[in-house]
Structure 1
Amino acid sequence: MFHKEGQRIILTTFFIVCAVILIAQFYIDIPWLKLGLQILSLVVLILILQFFRNPTRVVVRDFDEILAPVDGKVVVIEEVEEKEFFQDKRIQVSIFMSPINVHVTRYPASGVISYSKYHPGKYLVAWHPKSSEENERTTVVVRTPKFGDILYRQIAGAMARRIINYAEIGDHVQQGEDAGFIKFGSRVDLLLPLDCAITVKLNQKVVGAKTCIAALVSKDEE
């Protein structure tokens, strides 16, 4: 299954690949060059199909957990001053997506969208410390029943030059549902309350709508 945001690119690439294969077959007489062009064009098509794959995820929704919004690797877990919406300290968990990861963004929790804003910006590499504040990005806040407001940011990087965000203020959203797409990788930041329990570690690989990023701290654990 492929994401709807990739349909035009997939179709265009398919027709170009078919044209290259046919042209090479009938107009290039050098065997190694003909075969090389045909194989290269097929590799490009396979890579594009991989970029836009959208695997079905069966989500076990839980109001007591925040799930990973994307597939990737945890590259940041730290306390930060969130300056755009909360204006106070939060725990930031950042997930880096490589070009081979699934690029679909999914809602990390169920609730109501209370804030959604697009910011134009730079295209620093996604792991750059200033990418969260200076790169092109979207900021979305979900008002949840138990965690209160949680924030996630889709951040463009050196390769990812287009962010798709479906969240609109007032929408009622469900954990694990499709929230958008970042074309060709990059990074997503989660900004969570200080009193939640982070359940992942640095460099851990996570799966969108599957891996628990944070959980409520029970009174017995406080």
Structure 2
Amino acid sequence: MDNRLEIIDINKKYGNLKALTNINIELENGIYAFIGTNGAGKTTLLKIITTNLKATSGEVLYNGKNIFKMGKNYRTLLGYMPQNKGYYEDFTGQEYLYYIAGLKSVRNKKVLVKEMLERFNLTDAKNRKIVNYSGGMKQRIVLAQVLLNDPKIIILDEPTVGLDPIERENFKSYLKEIAKDKIIIYCTHIISDIYNIADKVFVMKKGSIVKEYDRLDIDEYATDLISFEKNVFDNL
């Protein structure tokens, strides 16, 4: 099955303020990292890709079709984790996942909820209310719900905040595993999170893409993360 997202000449203005300028990207299965400081335009771009915000000009196509015209048919393909997470703290972890699975019309809810609880190490806490979860546990339950409907496009905005080092590595390994048949868009300011897993890195500044690295570019730095970070930050 084709899985292609084309971002064509996207511009976004708020009055005289240019939030995005001439964004042109084509994405297929793989992991794509977007790096930039606050105000670089990352979150604005994500909102457009998720149809939560309309561009001033340009269009986004999924397999050749305009995503806004696709409507619900497009949104069912998405798994979105915004920077400001929302969850129902009076629910237990298991109740929350069942609730989200219902909203997403997920089949085999029982099997998938069990699988997500196990994958994100939440089985022992499944009957505890989310309000009593630690920050890392809350992050993991949100990640679990993002993946419940087996989305073709996964959009992650600062997904590892609150995770400990082991959880970060486990999460990255899982992303590499599922990226074979998914488009994963990963916005972060933590370069070490994407250094070993991204197929392409886009550096954003003031609403524009100012630098791109493909996997071969990144591999030139071998295991020298510090040099790669310096090269990225020189463009910010």
Q: Using CA pairs below 8 Å that are at least 6 residues apart, which structure has the higher relative contact order?
A: 2
More strand by share: 1
What TM-score range do you get, normalising by the shorter chain? under 0.3
Highest CA radius of gyration, 1 or 2?
1
TM-score normalized with structure 1 length: 0.27
TM-score normalized with structure 2 length: 0.26
More helix by share: 2
